[in-house]
């Protein structure tokens, strides 16, 4: 079963909300970590709703809105969201109010919005969608699970599915992760795949996609398959699983025009991908994306947005490339993602 | 493509027992697990009741036999219930069949995060809560002790979470992606959730009274429950024994309000109807309904109205078992799935405790004492914030 991508919307640390943007003007972090470049939400969300929404909800609803408008539809058969941390800002607000006031004088708004399914349910409320509604919250599989689920829904008879990945960070979340040495200062002089130090580039963002069971005049690309790997034992085992995955789609690595790899600049987490890189470069063209998006649980949603754009534009921009090699045309893009060196995934995106 | 899905193992820990046999004893003796708060640290401990697991974290660590200092209460109880389910089913994840772990939670590691959050900004000692705060941690703990797991994911759809984990497991097997799965949910009590529900003013200070005219709200509980589910082919291959079959499921959204259910229970009615359609059963074929029945004025009226709309006056026997366990949030649907299977296995309908007066206008009377009768089919409902509605239908084998 395939899923045809009929609409996309993306907010990230690049100007992805702007439909004309294609990796030409690159934004670097203003400080030493990435923030999402957020639009004026009034264009996308009714003011009475906007007032109460946390940032994750705003990013999610706005990008869902963009994807739906691009697809030119009013209704969907399912809404599936993925988020590793959920509405962290509201969770933290309620937590701190509770701790600072010894459990007194609390109001429910931030508690209500702290639940992980808030974005999915807000979209259902706005669209009056009574159909299937799911929220996945599994680390670096949160977004992958939404795509996997869509493919199953299509085989079960659904036609149109809205999927998205949403992540927000807060100043305190950044402070704590810095204290725990989980991320390091952004250094544009060291290519991500060559890093020799620990630490990621923390970021946030949201991307939504309207997926369709059938190809239509709006179809931009197709997702031909997705597979997750939990704690693979070696780079060789990933390569072996990748071969089997591609074979399932009657392809081999040499058929892949661009391979988007999830290098994070953390030497330990990137270890297997670094081992795979020469193998990939032998047969295909390697590229990467987290030096532009930063790393977060659902950064693979940014990668899917990127893959869709590459197929649409038929060009691999310099900003994404790892070597001087460029594909003549782009028919198949393979995303090989990893999160914390634990959650790996393959996503095959093709011209349709 | 579509193969039948069987439940082959049960595991559960909650206020009514640390395992399934203990839970059965409590259920069949009308013994609630809800009482005075002993383990949760809160200024309201003497003002409210809760359904706590009767073990401190140290005792849970001993029981699960894992003393990793990073572990939190959520992971301890998830691992205990999943271990019990896997042992009960007798599956071996190294046998070459594809196994998934699909869990669900709402609170995740918050119970530990809230203890240390403020000091994290000054001291390094507990910074590891950053690694265990998220929803995926307890799921990966289960996957790690099982070993040889082909798929892991976690769902969070508020109080319907575990129903969706069960449903996803069924769908992945039917779609040929897995041969079997360990599915369920977990939520340990935390000060965060307790205060959240308190600000919503939906906690009853007395024992909760589901479906009673004078119900005031819910009692929070904590727990974890997991089921091993297997496709018929995998079950045949290993010569396993089925406890029950999952014949229907549905997921809908009420799309009415972020926290409240619509008065007519539109989403709930859709979920029940779609699950029935899938099962091929008629409303009159259902022997027992395990209701969501939280005890809040809004839920019980909405769910009751939806149930009556589907079943009319020929309502099957029904009860909410939340007056035993308290509302265990993400875990509630898997706890109630275990209770539904026990009901079929032991030909018993467990009572809706604390009920005296039917809701005016609805006139629905649940079972208030233990009923002995053959139970061949059970409908189990779960609803959550965000309008998430899920129904499951189990059939005796």
Say if residue A142 is in the same domain as residue A282.
no
Say if residue A208 is in the same domain as residue A231.
no
Phi/psi at B286 (nearest 5 deg)?
Answer: -80, 125
Per residue in B151-190, pLDDT tens? 999 999 999 999 999 999 999 999 999 999 999 999 999 9
Its pTM stands at 0.98
Mean pLDDT within A7-22: 97
Q: In the prediction, which pLDDT does A66 show?
A: 98
Q: In the prediction, which pLDDT does A275 show?
A: 98
Residue B167 lies in a domain: yes
How many C-beta atoms surround the C-beta of residue A259 within 10 A? 25
Residue B334 lies in a domain: yes
Per residue in A203-256, pLDDT tens? 999 999 999 999 999 999 999 999 999 999 999 999 999 999 999 999 999 999
Cβ B154–A135 below 8 Å, yes or no? no
Q: Where among A147, A179, A212 does a domain terminate?
A: A212
Q: Which stretches of A85-159 are assigned E, i.e. beta strand?
A: 132-136
**Closest chain A residue to B274, measured at CA:** A131
Say if residue A208 is in the same domain as residue A261.
no
For β-strands B49-51 and B35-36, DSSP reports them as antiparallel
**Closest chain A residue to B168, measured at CA:** A149
- Chain A residues within an 8 Å CB radius of B386: 115, 117-118, 120-121, 124, 133
Exposed/middle/buried for B302, CB within 10 Å: 0-12, 13-18, 19+? buried
Q: Where among B187, B212, B238 does a domain terminate?
A: B238
Cβ B157–A149 below 8 Å, yes or no? no
Tell me the pLDDT band of B1, cut-offs 50, 70 and 90: low
Cβ partners under 8 Å of residue A100, min gap 6: none
Say if residue B177 is in the same domain as residue B257.
no
On whether any CB of chain A is under 8 Å from the CB of B152, the answer is yes
Which residues numbered 10-69 in B keep a CB inside 8 Å of some CB on A?
A: 42-44
Say which CATH number the domain at B324 has.
3.40.47.10
* pLDDT over 70 (residue A297): yes
Which of A85, A104, A124 has its CB closest to that of B255? A124
Q: Where among A173, A191, A212 does a domain terminate?
A: A212
How many C-beta atoms surround the C-beta of residue A288 within 10 A? 27
Q: In the prediction, which pLDDT does A105 show?
A: 95
Q: In the prediction, which pLDDT does A145 show?
A: 98
Say if residue B315 is in the same domain as residue B198.
no
Mutate to test the interface with B, among A60, A124, A154 (most CBs of B within 10 A): A124
Cβ A117–B158 below 8 Å, yes or no? yes
Q: Shortest Cα distance from B121 to chain A (angstroms)?
A: 7
Say if residue A309 is in the same domain as residue A201.
no
Give the span between the Cα atoms of B99 and A188, in whole angstroms.
42
Q: In the prediction, which pLDDT does A185 show?
A: 85
Mutate to test the interface with B, among A1, A119, A121, A146 (most CBs of B within 10 A): A121
* pLDDT over 60 (residue B43): yes
Q: Where among B238, B272, B307 does a domain terminate?
A: B238
Residue B243 lies in a domain: no
SS3 A200: strand
Say if residue B84 is in the same domain as residue B154.
yes
Say if residue A181 is in the same domain as residue A306.
no
Say if residue A207 is in the same domain as residue A236.
no
Q: What percent of chain B has pLDDT over 90?
A: 99
Residue B284 lies in a domain: yes
Helix (H) or strand (E) segment spanning residue A89: helix A88-100
Say if residue A135 is in the same domain as residue A271.
no
Expressed as residue numbers, the domain containing B383 is 249-396
Say if residue B378 is in the same domain as residue B277.
yes
Mutate to test the interface with A, among B386, B388, B390 (most CBs of A within 10 A): B386
Q: In the prediction, which pLDDT does A31 show?
A: 75
Say if residue B266 is in the same domain as residue B387.
yes
DSSP-assigned letters across all residues of B245-303: EEEEEEEEE--S-SSPPPTT-HHHHHHHHHHHHHHT--GGG--EEE----S-HHHHHHH
DSSP-assigned letters across all residues of A1-63: --EEEEEEEEESSSSTTSTT--SSSPPPPSSSS-------GGGTS-HHHHTT--HHHHHHHHH
Say if residue B270 is in the same domain as residue B162.
no
| Between residues B259 and B392, the one the model is more confident about | B392
CA distances from B135 to A82, B74, B130, B187 (A): 12, 10, 12, 10
Mean pLDDT of chain B: 97
Per residue in B308-355, pLDDT tens? 999 999 999 999 999 999 999 999 999 999 999 999 999 999 999 999
Q: Which two tokens stand for residue B186?
A: 């977990």
Q: In the prediction, which pLDDT does A186 show?
A: 84
Say if residue B185 is in the same domain as residue B333.
no
Say if residue A122 is in the same domain as residue A206.
yes
Q: Shortest Cα distance from B47 to chain A (angstroms)?
A: 13
- Rounded to 5°, angle at Cα A85 from A234 and A158: 85
Per residue in B9-39, pLDDT tens? 999 999 999 999 999 999 999 999 999 999 9
Say if residue B171 is in the same domain as residue B58.
yes
Give the span between the Cα atoms of B152 and A238, in whole angstroms.
17
Give the span between the Cα atoms of B317 and B332, in whole angstroms.
20
- Chain B residues within an 8 Å CB radius of A120: 157, 386
Say if residue A240 is in the same domain as residue A186.
no
Say if residue B98 is in the same domain as residue B229.
yes
**Closest chain B residue to A116, measured at CA:** B156
Give the span between the Cα atoms of A318 and A36, in whole angstroms.
22
On whether any CB of chain B is under 8 Å from the CB of A46, the answer is no
Say if residue A283 is in the same domain as residue A227.
yes
Q: What ipTM was predicted for this assembly?
A: 0.98
Say if residue B233 is in the same domain as residue B106.
yes
Expressed as residue numbers, the domain containing A85 is 3-212
Residue B244 lies in a domain: no
Q: Where among B238, B258, B274 does a domain terminate?
A: B238
Give the span between the Cα atoms of B377 and B394, in whole angstroms.
6
Per residue in B68-97, pLDDT tens? 999 999 999 999 999 999 999 999 999 999
Say if residue B275 is in the same domain as residue B355.
yes
Cβ partners under 8 Å of residue B99, min gap 6: B91, B93, B146, B148, B149, B150, B151, B178, B179, B180, B181, B182
- Chain A residues within an 8 Å CB radius of B1: 155
Domain count, chain A: 2
Say if residue A198 is in the same domain as residue A241.
no
Say if residue B227 is in the same domain as residue B305.
no
Active site residues of B: 159, 292, 327
A84-98 b/e (C-beta count within 10 Å ≥ 16 → b): bbbbbbbbbbbbebb
* pLDDT over 90 (residue A33): no
Q: Shortest Cα distance from B364 to chain A (angstroms)?
A: 26
| Strand-by-strand arrangement of the B35-36 sheet | B35-36, B49-51, B220-221
Tell me the pLDDT band of A187, cut-offs 50, 70 and 90: confident
Per residue in B208-262, pLDDT tens? 999 999 999 999 999 999 999 999 999 999 999 999 999 999 999 999 998 899 9
On whether any CB of chain A is under 8 Å from the CB of B388, the answer is yes
* pLDDT over 90 (residue A29): no
Domain count, chain B: 2
On whether any CB of chain A is under 8 Å from the CB of B155, the answer is yes
Q: In the prediction, which pLDDT does A54 show?
A: 94
Residue B73 lies in a domain: yes
Say if residue A61 is in the same domain as residue A200.
yes
Say which CATH number the domain at A99 has.
3.40.47.10
* pLDDT over 60 (residue A298): yes
């Amino acid at each position: 079963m395939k899923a045809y991508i009929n609409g996309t919307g993306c907010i990230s640390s690049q100007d992805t909300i702007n439909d004309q943007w294609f990796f030409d003007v690159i934004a670097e972090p203003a400080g030493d970590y990435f923030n999402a470049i957020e639009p004026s939400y009034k264009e996308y969300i009714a003011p009475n709703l906007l007032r109460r929404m946390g940032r994750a909800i705003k990013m999610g609803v706005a990008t869902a809105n963009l994807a739906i408008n691009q697809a030119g539809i009013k209704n969907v058969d399912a809404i599936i969201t993925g988020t590793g941390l959920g509405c962290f800002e509201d969770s933290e607000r309620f937590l701190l109010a509770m701790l600072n006031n010894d459990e007194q004088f609390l109001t429910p708004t931030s508690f209500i919005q702290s639940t992980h399914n808030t974005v999915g349910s807000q979209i259902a409320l706005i669209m009056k969608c009574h159909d299937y509604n799911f929220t996945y919250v599994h680390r670096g599989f949160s977004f992958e699970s939404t795509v996997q689920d869509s493919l199953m829904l299509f085989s079960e008879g659904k036609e149109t599915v809205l999927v998205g990945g949403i992540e927000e960070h807060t100043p305190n979340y950044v402070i704590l992760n810095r204290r725990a040495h989980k991320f390091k200062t952004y250094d544009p002089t060291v290519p991500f795949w060559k890093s020799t130090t620990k630490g990621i580039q923390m970021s946030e963002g949201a991307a939504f996609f309207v997926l369709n069971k059938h190809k239509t005049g709006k179809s931009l690309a197709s997702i031909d398959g997705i597979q997750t790997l939990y704690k693979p034992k070696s780079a060789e085992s990933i390569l072996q699983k990748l071969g089997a995955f591609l074979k399932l789609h009657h392809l081999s690595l040499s058929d892949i025009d661009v391979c988007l790899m999830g290098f994070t600049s953390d030497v330990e987490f990137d270890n297997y991908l670094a081992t795979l890189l020469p193998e990939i470069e032998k047969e295909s063209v390697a590229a990467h994306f987290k030096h532009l998006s930063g790393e977060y649980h659902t950064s693979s949603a940014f990668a899917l947005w990127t893959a869709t754009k590459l197929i649409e534009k038929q060009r691999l921009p310099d900003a994404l490339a790892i070597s001087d090699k460029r594909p003549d045309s782009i028919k198949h893009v393979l995303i090989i993602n990893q999160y914390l060196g634990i959650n790996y995934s393959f996503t095959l995106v093709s011209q349709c | 493509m579509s193969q039948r899905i069987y439940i082959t193992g049960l595991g559960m820990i909650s206020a009514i027992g640390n395992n399934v046999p203990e839970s059965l004893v409590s259920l069949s003796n009308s013994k609630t697990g809800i009482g005075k708060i002993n383990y949760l640290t809160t200024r309201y401990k003497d003002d409210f009741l809760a359904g706590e697991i009767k073990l401190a974290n140290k005792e849970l660590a001993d029981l699960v036999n894992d003393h990793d200092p990073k572990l939190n209460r959520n992971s301890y109880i998830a691992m205990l219930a999943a271990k019990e389910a896997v042992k009960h089913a007798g599956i071996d994840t190294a046998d070459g069949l594809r196994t998934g772990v699909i869990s669900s939670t709402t609170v995740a590691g918050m119970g530990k995060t809230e203890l240390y959050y403020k000091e994290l900004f000054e001291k390094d000692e507990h910074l590891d809560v950053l690694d265990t705060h998220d929803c995926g941690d307890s799921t990966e703990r289960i996957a790690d002790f099982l070993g040889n797991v082909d798929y892991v994911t976690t769902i969070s759809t508020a109080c319907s979470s575990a129903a969706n984990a069960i449903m996803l497991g069924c769908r992945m097997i039917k779609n040929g992606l897995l041969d079997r799965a360990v599915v369920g949910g977990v939520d340990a009590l935390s000060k965060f959730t307790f205060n959240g529900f308190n600000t919503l003013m939906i906690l009853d200070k007395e024992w909760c009274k589901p479906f009673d005219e004078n119900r005031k709200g819910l009692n929070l509980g904590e727990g974890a429950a997991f089921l091993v589910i297997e496709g018929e082919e995998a079950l045949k291959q290993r010569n396993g024994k089925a406890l029950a079959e999952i014949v229907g499921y549905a997921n809908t959204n009420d799309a009415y309000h972020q926290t409240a259910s619509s008065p007519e229970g539109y989403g709930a009615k859709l979920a029940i109807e779609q699950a029935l359609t899938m099962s091929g059963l008629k409303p009159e074929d259902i022997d027992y309904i395990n209701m969501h029945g939280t005890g809040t004025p809004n839920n019980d009226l909405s769910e009751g109205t939806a149930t009556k709309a589907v079943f009319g006056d020929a309502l099957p026997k029904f009860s909410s078992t939340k007056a035993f366990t308290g509302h265990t949030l993400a875990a509630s649907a898997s706890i109630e799935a275990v209770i539904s299977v026990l009901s079929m296995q032991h030909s018993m309908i467990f009572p809706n405790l604390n009920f005296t007066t039917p809701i005016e206008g609805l006139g629905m009377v649940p079972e208030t004492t233990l009923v002995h009768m053959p139970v061949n089919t059970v409908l189990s409902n779960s609803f959550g914030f965000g309008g998430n509605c899920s129904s499951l239908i189990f059939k005796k084998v």
